[in-house]
Structure 1
Amino acid sequence: MTDATAEASETPAKKKGMLLPILLVAALGGGGFASTFLGVWSPSALLAPGEEKPAARAEGAPGLDFIDVPRIRLSIPNDPPRTLILTAKIETGTADRAQVEHLMPRVSDAFNSFLADIDPKAFGRRGVLEIVRAELVTRARYVLGDAVVKDLLITEFMLQ
C-alpha cells in the first residue's frame, strides 16, 4: 500500500514539472512574435550584419522645416455627395524650403489629380489613409525630388 501511495504522489509532481517548461516556451515564443510584429526588432537584421540602421531623427531636429500644403477641399461623387478635406505638411531640409514653396502649385495639382481619381467606395475601406499618404509622398517626391522630400504629414483628413 505504501508503494501505491508513493507512485500516486509522484505523478502530479511530474505533471507540474512538465507544465512549467511548456508555459515558459509558449510565453517566450509569444513575446518574440509580438516584438517582431510590433517592429521592436527584426530577425532579418540579424542575418545581414553589414547593414547599419540610420540614426533616428529627433523631433524638431535642426535643419528641418515643415511647409504647409494648401488645404484641399474636393467633392466626391457619391450617394449622397460627400466632401473630402485634406491638410498636409511636407517635411524638408531648411536649404530646400524655397524650392518647395516655389513648386507648391505643382504639388497641389498632383495631390488634387490623385485624390480626384480615387473611387468613392475606397474612402469607406479600412487603411485608406495609409494608402493615400503613401501615394501623396510618391507624388511629392516626383515633383520636388527624392532628396528634397523627407516625409509628408497629414494633419487633417476629413470626409463630410
Structure 2
Amino acid sequence: MAAVDAEVAEEEDEEASETPARRRIAGKVLVLYVALPALVLIGAGAGLYMSGIFGGGGEETPVEEVVADPVFYDLPDFLVNLSGPPPAHYLKMRVSLQVTDAEAVKRLELEMPRVLDGFQTFLRDLRPEDLEGSQGMLSLKEELMRRLTLATQKPLVTDILFREIIVQ
C-alpha cells in the first residue's frame, strides 16, 4: 500500500506542478493573442474616427455669420468757442455716429435736441489744452459717448467717429 500511496502522491505533485505552468502559459497566450490585438484595433479605430476617415461623416459645412451692415448718422457741424484766457479759441468739429440699426436712427432723430444740447454745453467748457494729443481725443470721445447714452436713455450708438476737428 505504501507503493500505491507513493504513486498517488507523485501523480498529485505532477498535476499540481503542471497546473500553474499551464495557467501561466494560458495567461500569456490570452494577453498576446486576444487582449493585445483588441487594444491595437480599438486604438486604430479611435484614430480613424477622430481623423474623420471612418465614421466622421465627411466635412462639416461652416456656419456663416450674418453681419449687418454698419449704419452711420451724421451730426450737424459744431462750431463753439472754447473757454480759457484770451485770445479766443474756437473748435470746429464734424462727427458721425455708428448706430446699432436703422430703427435706432429714428429714435436718435427724436432725441436729437437733447443730444445737441449735451454736446454744446460740454464742448463750450473745454479748454484748448483738453484737446491736445491722442489722450485728449480719447477722453473727448468717451465723454461724448457718455452724454449720448444719457440723452437717449439707452445705448443706441456703438461708436463716435471724428470726421474733422479743427482748433483755432
Query: Do the structures match in fold with TM over 0.5?
Result: yes
Residue 143 in 1 paired to residue 143 in 2? no
Q: By how many angstroms is 1:149 displaced?
A: 1.5
Q: TM-score, normalised by structure 2?
A: 0.53
What count of residue pairs does the alignment treat as equivalent? Answer: 102
Q: Which residue of 2 aligns with 1:102?
A: 110
CA contact (8 A) 1:69 1:88 kept: yes
- The equivalent position to 1:86 in structure 2, one of 79, 88, 93, is 93
Match of 1:72 in 2: 78
DSSP-derived class of the 1:114 partner:
helix
Aligned-pair identity in percent equals 25
Could you tell me which amino acid in structure 2 is paired with residue 91 of structure 1? Q
Over 3 Å counting, the alpha-carbon distance change for 1:97 and 1:126 in structure 2 is: closer
Aligned twin of 1:122: 130
SS in 2 for 1:127: helix
Supply the distance in 1 between the matched residues of 2:148 and 2:66 (Cα, whole angstroms): 21
Q: Is contact 1:69–1:104 with CA below 8 Å preserved after alignment?
A: no
Asked if 1 retains the 8 angstrom alpha-carbon contact of 2:96 and 2:160, the reply is: yes
Which has the larger helix fraction? 2
* 1:67 and 1:101 in contact (8 A); partners too: no
Cα pair distance change 1:57/1:74, threshold 3 Å: farther
Partner of 2:87, secondary structure, is coil
Q: Report the 3-state secondary structure (helix = DSSP H, G, I; strand = E; otherwise coil) of the residue aligned with 2:122.
A: helix
Distance change >3 Å, CA 83–CA 103, structure 1 → 2? same
Q: Which runs of 5+ in 2 are unaligned?
A: 1-64
Name the larger-Rg structure: 2
- Does structure 1 retain, via aligned residues, the 8 Å contact 2:95–2:164? yes
Measure how far apart 1:147 and its partner are: 3.2
What CA deviation, in whole Å up to 9, does each residue of 1:91-124 have, x standing for no partner? 1111211111121121111011111122343234
Per-residue deviation, 1:125: 5.6
More strand by share: 1
Q: Which runs of 5+ in 1 are unaligned?
A: 1-55
Misfit runs of 4+, over 4 Å: none
Q: TM-score, normalised by structure 1?
A: 0.56
